[in-house]
Every structure is written in C-alpha cells, then in structure tokens.
A = this chain, B = another copy of it.
Amino acid sequence: MKQNVLIIGAGGVAQVVAHKCAQNNDVLGDIHIASRTVSKCEAILESVREKGAMKNDGVLKAHQVDAMDTAAVAQLIRDTGVEIVINVGSAFVNMYVLDACIETGVAYIDTAIHEDPAKICETPPWYANYEWKKRDLCAEKGVTAILGAGFDPGVVNAFARFAIDLMDEVKSIDIVDINAGSHGKYFATNFDPEINFREFTGVVYYWEDQQWKETTMFASGHDWELPVVGTCRAYQSGHDEVHSLAANYPQADVRFWMGFGDHYINVFTVLKNLGLLSEQPVVTAEGQEVVPLKVVKAVLPDPASLAPNYTGKTCIGDLVKGTKDGEDYEVFVYNVADHKEAYEEVGSQGISYTAGVPPVAAAMLVATGEWDAKTMKNVEELDPKPFFTILDRIGLPTRKRIGGLHGVDTAWNE
C-alpha cells in the first residue's frame, strides 16, 4: 500500500492527471503537482477546484521544480511525503525523475519513453537505451517503476496482453491509433509538437519475423475498418510500445499504425523536406543559433488550446492474431473516446484525456498493491484485468471483438 501522489508536468496531460487524481483522492491521498513554471500548476489546480473534482477534502498543492535536477525532485518527494510519482513532464526528463524515485524508494509511473533532445530514433529496442538500464537497480531496491502507462504506450500494451492471454500462441500485434476528431485549426498537433514530430522524422522501426525492420514515415499505409469511426487510413509509425512488446513477445510481429489525413501529411512533408523539423540547430544570417523544430513548436497552437472546440472521437485498439486449440484466432481490443465529453469533464481534449487517465488508474493499482511490483515493469507484464476494471469506471471503457474487426462487439469482461 502506497499513498500520496506527486505529478510532474503541467501540460494538457498533467491537467487530466490532476483532475483524475482529485476524483480518486480517497484512494490516492494527497495530490502535489510540480513543474518548471509554478503558475501553470496553479492554473491546473484552479481548474480542479472549479470543477469540484476533489472526492474528499484533502491536500492539493503546486510546487516549482526543475525536473532535470534529480536532487531537487528527490527533495520535493521527501518534503511532500509522496509515495507515488506520476511523471507526465517532457519526455526529456524521465531518467532524472526515475533516478529521484529510486533514490527515495518511491513508485515511478510515466507515459512515454525517455528521449535525448539531441537524438531521434535511437537503436531499437528503445527502452534498452535508457529505462531498462535501471531495471536491476529497481529490483534490488524494491522500487516499483511502471513504464509507458499512458494510452499508447500503456493501455494498448494491456490490450495486447489481454488478447494474448485468450489464445495459445500469438502471431501478430497491430496497434491502430485513429483520431477522427476535428479541432478546426489550419494545423495543430494533439500533444507537444516537438515530441509529435520527433516521432515521425526518423526511421520507423517495427518487429517482423523475429527481427527489427525499418521503413519510413507514410511509406506503409493501410485502410482500417474500425468501430464507430469507420474506415480510416493509417500509416506505420515508430512508437514506444513496439519496443517492449517485441521484447516480451518475440515470436509475434509487432507494428504500430497511426491515422493521418492528407492535409497533415502534406504539412508534415513540407516541413520535413525543408529541414524545419530538425532537432539540430541552424545558424541564421544574423548569426543566431536556433533549433528549427523549436520554432515550429512556437508558431503552432498550444495543444491545450484546442480543447474547447474539439469534436469527434478517437478509436485506439489492438488487432491481435494467433491460434487457439489449433485454429486461427483473432481479437480486436479497443477503446473509443470523445473529445467533447473529455473537455466537459476535465477541460482537456480527447488525446490528453486518453493519455492522462491511464497513469492515474496505474497509480490507484500501485496504491492498492495490485500493481506494486517492487521492480520495473512495462504494462504488458502486469495483470490487465484490474487495470481495465478501473479504466471502465474512470472514463476509458475497454471493448473487444472476438474474431477480429468484424467480430461481435462486447465489453472486455462479457
């Protein structure tokens, strides 16, 4: 049993995490939130208070911290007495926050892989470059660290585990992420543009025939007929969960598909071909050194600003194929979320909602002991059923179609 939560970060996902922690503070206890800019934390807490989200009266506090300063994060953990850290800060801070959790012996949960600002698309499996190097240390010290517990990675890893548990042998896992919503802007990314574009500018790694293969973004497209959102074109993309699922299920092909409209692809292609998505600095005629990607981020809409006018739905799921009792067996496990409903509940758009609710469910399972693994785990290494049970209750219900995309549609536990 662990209690009291520190949220690191103050972006759109942190807002959802704060609201969901508040709604479940009977389980989670005190809620602290910290980022470089304390005013952003305070704005989030103000929105929590406005919505009356706190289930019980309790602690709800904002703090200033540089998340890349391990000692400062460790001190904040000690000062606040938290036992669970939910890190939804920039992907660049993971290892510093993880180190602070190991140092202080508290549980660590994040939603995306660590990244070095100066590198994109490192050697697969990505987790081996950073997080997994600390796995033995976590086991030795009995520190719970749950990696990639957002939606994708996160819930989709649990979808895969759940589907694989239904069969005798797994052959392939295709994760499909479709945002069929509309934000009404000329162009915007649904989360930090810097992280969003970094996902798509490098090599696309996927796992097939028990080896890493490579393609490039938008080179491999497929039309998926999905529940609720209908037929949507998605493209093979590089994504965190491919790297842990391939390690845990090396016998299966593992691919990730993300939906993109022609307009997104056109804007992306122009920016990429011009060199404007580069994370490497260029020098202007005036001698100023600038990272083009940071300028693109500066001119694009703040993803949080999209929420009030976002309409439509997301559909994210896993099509998992294998065999059972000697026969081919196929299941699609998925969730559908609604942008407008997310905004009405927590003041965020659907992409932030799907990313922010799962780490709170994970924190609740750490608090109750069910996921308090005392070592480092990717989500597919944990029992998916209590996770789905909480997600059903707190806003992200899981459904399945035995037989595949055109199978009969039921809740996961029916």
Q: Which residues of A contact B (CB under 8 A)?
A: 186-187, 194, 266-267, 270-271, 273-276, 278, 282-286, 288, 290-292, 294-300
Contact = CB atoms under 8 A, between A and B. Distances in A.
A109 B221 CA distance: 56
Contact of A295 (B266, B273, B290, B300): B290
Contacts of A275: 299
Given A266-B266, A290-B290, A299 B285 contact: no
6 closest pairs, A vs B, by CB? A275-B299, A282-B298, A284-B294, A270-B270, A186-B273, A284-B298
Contacts of A270: 187, 266-267, 270-271
Nearest to A281: B298
A276 B270 CA distance: 12
Counting chain B CB atoms within 10 Å of each CB, the highest count among A186, A267, A299 belongs to: A299
Contacts of A292: 295, 298-299
A297 B295 CA distance: 13
Contact of A276 (B273, B276, B285, B290): B276
B276 A297 contact: no
B290 A288 contact: yes
Contacts of A290: 288, 290, 295, 298
Given A271-B274, A284-B295, A292-B299, 4 more contacts: A186-B274, A270-B270, A286-B294, A288-B294
How many copies of the shown chain assemble into the complex?
A: 2
A301 to B, nearest CB: 10
A281 to B, nearest CB: 10
Contacts of A282: 295, 298-299
A25 B288 CA distance: 39
29 contacts: A186-B273, A186-B274, A187-B270, A187-B274, A194-B285, A266-B266, A266-B270, A267-B270, A267-B274, A270-B270, A270-B271, A271-B274, A274-B296, A274-B299, A276-B296, A278-B299, A282-B295, A282-B298, A282-B299, A283-B298, A284-B291, A284-B294, A284-B297, A284-B298, A288-B290, A288-B294, A292-B298, A292-B299, A295-B295
A278 B299 CA distance: 10
Counting chain B CB atoms within 10 Å of each CB, the highest count among A194, A274, A288 belongs to: A274
Nearest to A294: B284
A266 B271 CA distance: 11
Contacts of A274: 186-187, 267, 271, 296, 299-300
A297 B283 CA distance: 10
Nearest to A275: B299
Nearest to A291: B284
A44 to B, nearest CB: 17
A285 B271 contact: no
A340 to B, nearest CB: 25
Nearest to A193: B285
Contacts of A267: 270, 274
A327 to B, nearest CB: 50
A300 B405 CA distance: 45
A275 B300 CA distance: 8
A286 to B, nearest CB: 7
A298 B274 CA distance: 10
Contacts of A288: 290, 294
A299 B275 CA distance: 6
A295 B286 CA distance: 10
A285 B298 contact: yes
A267 B275 CA distance: 13
Contacts of A285: 194, 294, 297-298
